[in-house]
């Protein structure tokens, strides 16, 4: 049986794989013998999960039967007859047009528990790869605190990175800090004046509450306060807008006042500390200004200038006729530089991507749906300069407010991540106090922080990225049912059993025969699915499937917990159930890691 690094054969890191492969090969062999062409490419994809209680896997014969010109029922019967049972199968039946495969449960239990216990924290991981992956996510302008809408990017990106790591890739998460351009110029412009010289409408709008100062407030909130008022003000004041434009030019010719970087770093620091509360971290930061300073943006502009599709606009702006790249007609003219020669975001992004391509084999960008066109523009621009590599885009939909429309600080309809987290933690605090009297205030606070953050992160993560999410306080703060705290609670429960048994680390001796109740075998089957889930998400980017899996695992464990006593059981059931609990706890813990939720030993 496998040891800790037993994935060299590509088989032993996933308990379900040997069975699936056995079915696939034999099915392909038999159908091939009938002359069915599709069998050549393997039938694993067509192997589906049978309805629970019927079998483990099913194969629908209709398609092959039609191709072969025989009735599906007959084909099914023929395929099931004398299907070799060596290895992981115990029974193969023909049910109408379906061939149903029943896994050898005791073998599966044996393989799964051994594998989980032996691999520990590495259970769920796939074979290591050397292909370096960059996941760029969040990259929000440092102009104010995160609202809940923007944090979806970070949570999706961070989870994808965690899953890709688990799948075996060396992953770097990267934040592209936009310290150039008009938005960051606006912040510096306003803060470079003493507050009493601010335009009255900005000063009034941005006035902090009584007693709040930079020393009592996070820097992102403090410096971000005037942002939306400045934005409005500039629309009505051309002279001021002119000053901001001038500052934008200075930034791009590396004449940024020291204050500029100072504020950007302070604001970014505040933003990052909020993200850290929900488990989002970055390995690397690239400041946009560095791409200008090292000349790579200028080089890119030069390449566009020489392009046969370059257009010099009347005012001196450089544009690109990108009609050949399948962009919508209305968007097929891409502006490369402004009239004054300064670059635009898409142009700088080209330089950034060339740089990423030089560092990574795979480049993944997590982008909001408003960047859909930007993604296509970027592809077109890369093609235009003869670059053959492309980033992979993971595009997610917005979090909208119940009244409709997406969250927006500028439009004054946004919920700050910090406020949501504070509320979540406060509620979690109350929940902990309700059920634990034995903990110190410090412990309660620590648990509450993790539970609150877990609820928020899971809430964002549970929905498929391409679905819009309507933000509702009550739902985001749910600690019950399909929620982060439910998964964390299940982990704590499993740990509690082991702690009381005095068996918190291997060995966990067990007898497969002792694990034969439906709640036990169902649980093993779910535990065994973790590696497959990791692979699936790494391949598709469907990060919400980790949340779905986590819930399913927690649910199966709680059913087991409810129905079957562990500590009071007789041997050998007791030891065997302890092994099952240990394996479940490990799988739950590893899943929580991939989700970016904290493991809690008690709650």
Partner RNA sequence: GGGCGUGUGGCCUAGUCUGGAUAGGGCAUCGGGUUCCUAACCCGAGGGUCGGGGGUUCGAAUCCCCCCACGCCCGCCA
Q: Which of 340, 413, 345 is nearest to 377 (CA)?
A: 345
Would you list the DSSP string of 504-571? Answer: -SS-----GGG--SHHHHHHHHHHTTHHHHHHHHHHH--THHHHHHHHHHHHHHHHHHHH--STTPPT
State in angstroms the smallest separation of the CB of 150 from RNA.
Answer: 11
> Which residue, 23 or 115, is less far from RNA as judged by CB?
23
466 or 504: CB nearest RNA:
466
Q: Kindly identify the residues of this chain, within the stretch 253-282, that bind RNA according to CB under 7 A.
A: none
- Residue of 298, 361, 463, 517 that binds RNA (CB under 7 A): 463
Q: Angle at which helices 441-461 and 148-167 pack, to 10 degrees?
A: 90
Print the binding letters for residues 43-62 with RNA: x by CB under 7 A, - otherwise.
Answer: --x--x-xx-xxx--x-x-x
Asked if 335 interacts with RNA (CB under 7 A), we say yes
Contact status: 426 vs RNA (CB under 7 A): no
- State the residue for tokens 């979806």: 152
SS3 of residue 287 by DSSP = strand
Q: Which residues are registered as beta bridge partners of 57?
A: 49, 101
Q: Which of residues 175 and 479 has its CB atom nearest to RNA in the complex?
A: 479
Closest separation in Å from C-beta 168 to RNA: 18
Of 265, 464, 517, 589, which one interacts with RNA (CB under 7 A)?
464
By the rule CB under 7 A, 329 interacts with RNA:
yes
585 binds RNA (CB under 7 A): no
- Least Å distance between CB 54 and RNA? 5
Q: According to the 3-state scheme, what is the secondary structure of 422-451?
A: HHHHHHHHHHHHHHCCCCCHHHHHHHHHHH
Please select the residue that binds RNA; options are 91, 203, 261, 374, rule is CB under 7 A: 374
Number of residues in contact with RNA under rule CB under 7 A: 107
The encoded tokens of residue 370 equal 């408003």
Could you tell me how many helices (H) and strands (E) the chain has, helices first?
23, 14
324 is an interface residue for RNA by CB under 7 A: no
Interface residue with RNA among 346, 532, 572, 589 (CB under 7 A) is 346
Taking CB under 7 A as the rule, which mask of x and - marks residues 62-101 in contact with RNA?
xx--x----------------------------xxxx-x-
> Of 127-135, 205-213, 479-487, 526-534, which part binds RNA (CB under 7 A)?
479-487
Q: Across the strands, what pairs with 191?
A: none
- Give the x/- contact pattern for RNA in 180-209, rule: CB under 7 A: xxxx--------------------------
Q: Distance of CA 529 to CAs 49, 94, 481, 534, Å? A: 12, 25, 21, 9
Of the pair 141, 521, the CB lying nearest RNA is at: 141
Query: Which 8-state DSSP code applies to residue 412?
Result: T
Q: How many CB atoms lie within 10 A of CB 134?
A: 21
Contact between 563 and RNA per CB under 7 A: yes
Residue 283 within binding range of RNA, rule CB under 7 A = no
User: Tokens standing for 177?
Assistant: 């800090």
């Amino acid at each position: 049986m496998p040891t800790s690094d037993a994935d060299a054969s590509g088989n032993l890191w996933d308990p379900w794989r040997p069975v699936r492969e056995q079915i696939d090969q034999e099915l392909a062999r038999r159908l091939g013998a009938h002359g069915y062409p599709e069998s050549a490419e393997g039938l694993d994809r067509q192997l589906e999960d049978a309805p629970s209680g019927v079998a483990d896997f099913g194969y629908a014969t209709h398609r092959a039967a039609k191709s072969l010109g025989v009735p599906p029922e007959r084909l099914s019967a023929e395929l099931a007859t004398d299907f070799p049972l060596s290895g992981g199968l115990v029974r193969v039946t023909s049910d109408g047009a379906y061939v149903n495969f029943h896994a050898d449960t005791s073998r599966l239990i044996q393989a799964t528990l051994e594998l989980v216990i032996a691999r520990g924290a590495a259970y769920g991981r796939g074979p290591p790869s050397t292909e370096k992956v960059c996941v760029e996510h969040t990259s929000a302008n440092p102009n104010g605190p995160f609202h809940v809408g923007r944090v979806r990017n970070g949570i999706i990106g961070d989870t994808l990175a965690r899953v890709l790591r688990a799948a075996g890739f060396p992953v770097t998460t990267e934040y592209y800090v936009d310290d150039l351009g008009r938005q960051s110029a606006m912040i510096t412009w306003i803060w470079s004046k003493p507050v009493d010289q601010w335009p009255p409408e900005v000063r009034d709008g941005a006035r902090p509450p009584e007693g709040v100062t930079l020393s009592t407030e996070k820097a992102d909130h403090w410096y971000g306060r005037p942002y939306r008022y400045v934005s409005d003000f500039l629309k009505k004041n051309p002279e001021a807008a002119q000053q901001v434009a001038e500052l934008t030019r200075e930034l791009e010719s590396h004449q940024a006042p020291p204050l500029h970087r100072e504020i950007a770093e302070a604001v970014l620091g505040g933003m990052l500390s909020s993200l850290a509360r929900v488990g989002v971290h970055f390995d690397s930061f690239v400041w946009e200004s560095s791409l200008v300073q090292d000349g790579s943006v200028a080089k890119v502009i030069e390449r566009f200038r020489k392009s046969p599709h370059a257009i010099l606009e009347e005012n001196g702006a450089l544009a690109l006729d990108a009609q050949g790249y399948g962009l919508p007609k209305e968007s097929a003219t891409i502006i490369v530089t402004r009239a004054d020669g300064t670059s635009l975001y898409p142009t700088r992004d080209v330089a950034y991507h060339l740089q990423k391509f030089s560092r990574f084999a795979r480049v993944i960008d997590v982008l909001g749906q408003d960047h859909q066109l930007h993604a296509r523009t970027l592809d077109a621009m890369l093609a235009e300069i003869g670059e053959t590599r492309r980033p992979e885009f993971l595009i997610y939909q917005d979090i909208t407010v119940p009244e409709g429309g997406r969250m927006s600080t500028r439009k004054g309809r946004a919920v700050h991540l910090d406020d949501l987290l504070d509320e979540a933690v406060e509620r979690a605090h109350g929940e902990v106090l309700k059920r634990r009297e034995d903990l110190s205030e410090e412990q309660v606070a620590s648990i509450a922080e993790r539970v609150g953050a877990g609820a928020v992160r899971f809430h964002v993560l549970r929905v498929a990225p391409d679905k819009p999410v309507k933000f509702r306080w009550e739902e985001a703060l749910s600690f019950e049912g399909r929620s982060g705290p439910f998964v964390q609670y299940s982990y704590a429960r499993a740990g509690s059993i082991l702690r009381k048994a005095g068996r918190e680390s291997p060995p966990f001796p067990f007898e497969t025969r002792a694990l034969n109740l439906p709640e036990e075998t169902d649980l093993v089957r779910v535990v065994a699915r973790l590696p497959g889930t990791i692979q699936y998400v790494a391949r598709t980017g469907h990060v919400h499937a980790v949340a779905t899996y986590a819930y399913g695992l927690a649910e199966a464990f709680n059913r087991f917990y409810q129905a079957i006593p562990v500590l009071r059981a007789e041997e050998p059931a007791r030891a065997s159930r302890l092994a099952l609990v240990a394996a479940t706890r490990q799988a739950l813990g590893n899943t929580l890691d991939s989700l970016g939720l904290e493991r809690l030993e008690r709650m």
